[in-house]
A and B are shown apart, each in its own frame.
Chain A
Amino acid sequence: MIYFDNVSKVYSSDSVALDSVTFAVEPKEFLSLVGHSGAGKSTLIKLLLAEEKPSSGNIYFESIDVHELSRKEIPYVRRKIGTVFQDFKLLPHKTAYENVSFALEAAGRDDAEIAADVPHVLELVGLADRADHFPHELSGGQQQRVAIARAIVSKPDVIVADEPTGNLDPLNTWEIVRLLGKINELGTTVILATHDKEIIDTIGKRVITFKNGRVVSDDKKGKYRL
């Protein structure tokens, strides 16, 4: 369903973020992307969302070449991918509730559906009592959970989570990992980028390891090994 075909991304001659990366993600897969800081994980996600253009190679989502799409068509792909950004990317002038509901509104979902789903996911990430708070009134971990709620609320085909537990305490971390696992069991593809050895070793699913922008291993039942 997602296919990276010989993708390279060179920001500048001394900053090669991805180097000839090729891999495919099957529907319903749970894939972890592992690598040191600066290995190129976030860049990979930016390329998938067409936020950045690859220097060479092609990226396919459901057999559509993402970078062939016009600016008008790109939103339709993005709506099928729920993304948790490493830097959260919450809208500062919107409350937690509005941040979660925004994408649904933009996609034209009806009011009744939004009114039912948003409180439900906020409950799921444990933020029901913070719904009316603005991002600057929330802790880092709470902001991260709002970002997760936003990614899952539209029931997308794929969830891409970039370091979604970076700011969470162990208890919350496991809650989120369990949540992602459950979403995956219900049929959603999950792509998780992380440094966290413990998480990777516990999940026991496919792991792709990156080093300096290159794929160094791709194991069906992976362990963290760097």
Chain B
Amino acid sequence: MIFIHIKRIVLGSFVSFWRHGVVSFTTIMVMVLAIFMVGSLILFQVLLTSTLDQVEQKVDVIAYFKLDAPEDDILQIRELLLRTSEVNSVEYISRDRALEIFKDRNSDNALIASALDELGDNPLGASLRIQAHSPGDYQSVDRFLREGGFSSIDKVNYRDNELVYERLALVLSVARQTGLGIVVVLGVIAFLVVFNTIRLAIYTAKDEIGIMRLVGAANWYVRAPFLVEGAMHGVFASVFATLMFWPLTLWLGPKAKSFFGGPDLFIYYTQHFGSFFVTLLLVGVIIGVFSSFVATRKYLKV
């Protein structure tokens, strides 16, 4: 009995999907746009997050050591730093390495080169380049270095940049929240557009729904084909939208990469193809079924 009903509903849905031709097509088109928007928002989030992460990674605090600081002391401080929860990484730059970098950077400046030669001795101290997990953590790193009583430390550059760190922490969190806000708002708009399109499509079928009720069909029997159709629209639309991202990311990926410095979107797309498609598929099917469910409710009251 149940199977007869399921068979009839599924079969009926396919036939009605086909016969509603124009309406099915329009609904799918609108859904493609909406799902495409959702997909774009996902990629936007990927790009934004990785860009912000990169900015965050460019921030550091440098502890400069006195010229005569023993290397053992420095390495010991490095160990201590790595053990704290705020610190992500610590890079040791020895005196020789510092000189090398300095020379490298000023290789085309003959004046500086000759001045160094004149000095004979390496005037640069060793340093530790410290990266915290988030910009807000640098204050406690700074306090740790200053209040730890490390006599070999000459200077910590946190003070010079304190304001920048605070600003940056704020900007990053605002950027993240704004990004999320944009995603939510556009996502809601996409949903509303699809929801109302399906409502309109089902409005055109309201007389049919009434007739089915009047000839003795149960509510669920009338409603089920609309839900199946809604799911079918979602499936077609999400397949379509997912495929549209292929040429788009192929074209846009390298450009976005050079502009934002984030990952190549095409590589992201191909690597995450499965989860990307499943996400869009779920979005499409859920919106399709949900909208059809709500839209049929009103006309079933016959």
Please list the residues of chain A having a beta carbon within 8 angstroms of any beta carbon in chain B: 49, 51, 71-72, 74-76, 78-79, 83, 85, 89-93, 102-103, 105-108, 110-111, 150
Contacts and interface: CB of A to CB of B under 8 A. Distances in A.
A111 B20 CA distance: 25
Interface residues on B, range: 20 to 34
A71 B219 contact: yes
A103 B302 contact: no
A106 B221 contact: yes
Interface stretch (B138-146, B192-200, B207-215, B244-252): B207-215
Contacts of B101: none
Contacts of B119: none
B5 A108 contact: yes
A76 B221 CA distance: 13
A78 B219 CA distance: 13
Nearest to A92: B208
B208 A106 contact: no
Given A72-B219, A93-B19, A93-B20, A108 B214 contact: no
A51 B302 contact: yes
B218 interface: yes
Given A92-B208, A93-B19, A93-B20, A108 B1 contact: yes
17 contacts: A71-B300, A72-B219, A75-B213, A75-B216, A75-B218, A83-B214, A85-B214, A89-B210, A89-B215, A90-B211, A91-B211, A93-B20, A93-B208, A102-B212, A102-B217, A106-B222, A108-B1
A51 B20 CA distance: 27
Contact of B218 (A72, A92, A150): A72
A107 B1 CA distance: 10
B191 to A, nearest CB: 28
Nearest to B301: A71
A150 B5 contact: no
Contacts of B216: 75-76, 78-79, 103, 106-107
B218 A106 contact: yes
Contacts, number: 56
A78 B211 CA distance: 12
Contacts of A75: 213, 216-218
A93 B16 contact: yes
Contacts of A49: 214
Contact of B212 (A51, A79, A83, A106): A106
B4 interface: yes
Contacts of B97: none
Nearest to A73: B218
A84 B134 CA distance: 75
A108 B9 CA distance: 12
A143 to B, nearest CB: 13
B8 interface: yes
Which of B20, B217, B219 counts the most chain A CB atoms within 10 A?
B217
A114 to B, nearest CB: 10
A90 B208 CA distance: 8
Contacts of B217: 75, 102-103, 106
Contacts of B211: 89-91
Interface in B261-302: 300-302
A91 B208 contact: yes
A13 to B, nearest CB: 24
Contacts of A108: 1, 4-5
Closest CB pairs A-B (n = 10): A106-B217, A79-B216, A78-B216, A103-B215, A89-B211, A93-B19, A75-B216, A75-B218, A106-B221, A105-B8
A103 B214 CA distance: 9
A119 to B, nearest CB: 18
Interface in B1-59: 1, 4-5, 8, 16, 19-20
B214 A89 contact: yes
B302 A110 contact: no
A105 B301 CA distance: 21
Contact of B215 (A71, A72, A78, A93): A78
Contacts of A76: 216
Which of A71, A83, A90 counts the most chain B CB atoms within 10 A?
A71
